[in-house]
Amino acid sequence: MHSLHNISLKPYNTFGIDAQADRLVRFANAQEVQSYFEALQQPEHPHLVIGGGSNLLFSKDYKGVLYKIENKGIELYKEDAEHVYIKVAAGEVWDDVVAHCVAQQWGGIENLSLIPGTAGAAAVQNIGAYGVEIAQRLVWVEAVDMNTGQMHVFDREDLSYGYRYSAFKDEKREYLITHIGLRLDKIPQYVLTYKGVLAYLEAQKYAHTLHNIRKAIVAIRESKLPKPEALGNAGSFFKNPVISAQKLSHLQAEHADIPFYRLQDSTNVKVPAAWLIEQSGAHLIAFGDAQVYDKHALILVNKGNATGADLYRLAQAIQHKVHQRFGIRIEPEVLIY
Ligand code: FAD
Ligand code: NAP
């Protein structure tokens, strides 16, 4: 366990915001996490668990303690005729986990290629892309209760998974995830429902294999999304709003071309927030180096010297403009502190 005082957060958030934190506690493994919180009997106040900082916006200095687990390991612990079960350390880089599984010919998470961040955070966020969410593959999540130091293993069913949502964002926010369990397929079932992926495979004349799907997704993402090392960002800043069928038909009267996707088991539809931002003109708003990425209106970028406050102001101005234009409130996916 390492404890660092008065640190710059710049290396710990992909926006590259140079805010300060009072303290950062880094754990090498789950035992260190348990011992630390067993001794403390309650976490410091305020506190925040961080992974790779790829979904966080520090709008000001963090006057509290950050906890970060840096354990590693991907272990096959069980298999049957159809599946393998793996135990993944929370501190693993998520994309290394995907690369490993694809190399082993284990199917199920290839569509989640190149998503930044750690395996632990992936289970908090219920990361999703190209029609796949990690919740579909999670079996259990192991986490330490920061109020007691006790280890718990939660079944996926007990974690209220939904669109970019899990119980770790709510009633289980006092848990620090140490490992996750995933079930993967020995005979992969490809999810190619997003037009771009299929079109890419066809254009390249790539056969449908795990390796080629990963390759396609990496290529698409590299062409569309800014690399945080080159241009500070936290991916999609807002979630795609879900609206009623009635609201949709109201909007269609004025915008016949509004894109939407039907949700399973619901009459509600999902509307791409990027479209709402562009149509409202909100993508043209900027506060100094806090700007909207020119290739993707859902992504806010730090062009160099933006402060967290600049980015926060930009996000609020975009929300306001979209609401004014469409009467839809887009909610941040990025967590703002
Ligand atoms: P952080 O940002 O550090 O933390 C995220 C949340 O998880 C916080 O609430 C934090 O408290 C909590 N947390 C982190 N680790 C733990 C732990 N061990 N225990 C308990 N709580 C923890 N997301 C998608 O879903 N799909 C995408 O396609 C996608 N693409 C992206 C592309 C880019 C270029 C970027 C920059 C981001 C993208 N994201 C995407 C968002 C981001 O990568 C995910 O939300 C990711 O899971 C965040 O991981 P992290 O380790 O950086 O977590
Ligand atoms: P895209 O393919 O241009 O599609 C735009 C939006 O429409 C997406 O947000 C997606 O919703 C939705 N969509 C497209 N095809 C769909 C289908 N067949 N069924 C249901 N919904 C559909 O999106 P993109 O921006 O290039 O991103 C591609 C994928 O990577 C998306 O799944 C996106 O969520 C993910 N991504 C996420 C982040 C992040 O930070 N969270 C950043 C970049 C990319 P969904 O977002 O609900 O899938």
pLDDT tens for residues 173-201? 999 999 999 999 999 999 999 989 999 99
Retrieve residue 102's tokens. 């694809």
How many angstroms separate the CA atoms of 4 and 33, rounded? 16
Query: Are the C-beta atoms of 90 and 118 separated by less than 8 Å?
Result: yes
The pLDDT assigned to 264 comes to 85
Strand (E) or helix (H) holding 251: helix 245-254
Residues in the chain: 337
How are beta strands 47-49 and 62-69 bridged, if at all?
Answer: parallel
Per-residue pLDDT at 265 exceeds 90: no
Q: Is 130 in the pocket of ligand 2 (CB under 6 A)?
A: yes
Q: Is 312 in the pocket of ligand 2 (CB under 6 A)?
A: no
- Record the pTM: 0.97
How much of the chain exceeds pLDDT 70, in percent? Answer: 100
Query: Are the C-beta atoms of 49 and 89 separated by less than 8 Å?
Result: no
Query: Are the C-beta atoms of 147 and 174 separated by less than 8 Å?
Result: yes
pLDDT tens for residues 6-35? 999 999 999 999 999 999 999 999 999 999
The pLDDT assigned to 24 comes to 98
How many angstroms separate the CA atoms of 208 and 198, rounded? 9
Retrieve residue 250's tokens. 């109201």
Q: Is the peptide bond before 241 cis (omega within 30 degrees of 0)?
A: no
Order the strands of the 62-69 sheet from edge to edge.
Answer: 2-8, 20-27, 62-69, 47-49
The pLDDT assigned to 146 comes to 98
| Ligand 1 interacting residues, C-beta cut-off 6 A | 14, 48-56, 69, 90, 115-118, 120-122, 124-125, 127-129, 168, 176-177, 225, 228, 233-235, 335
User: CA angle, corner 225, sides to 309 and 305, nearest 5?
Assistant: 30
How many angstroms separate the CA atoms of 57 and 148, rounded? 29
| DSSP-based three-state secondary structure for 52 | coil
pLDDT tens for residues 279-306? 999 999 999 999 999 999 999 999 999 9
pLDDT tens for residues 238-254? 999 999 999 999 999 99
How many angstroms separate the CA atoms of 39 and 147, rounded? 10
The pLDDT assigned to 198 comes to 96
The pLDDT assigned to 258 comes to 96
Q: How far is the CA of 53 from the centre of ligand 1 (A)?
A: 7
Q: Kindly provide the residue ranges of all beta strands, DSSP E only, lying in 109-174, ordered along the sequence.
A: 128-129, 132-133, 138-145, 151-155
Mean pLDDT, range 125-148, rounded to an integer: 98
Average pLDDT over the chain reads 97
* DSSP assignments along 73-87, one per residue: -EEEEEE-SSEEEEE
How many angstroms separate the CA atoms of 25 and 68, rounded? 6
The pLDDT assigned to 78 comes to 98
The pLDDT assigned to 178 comes to 99
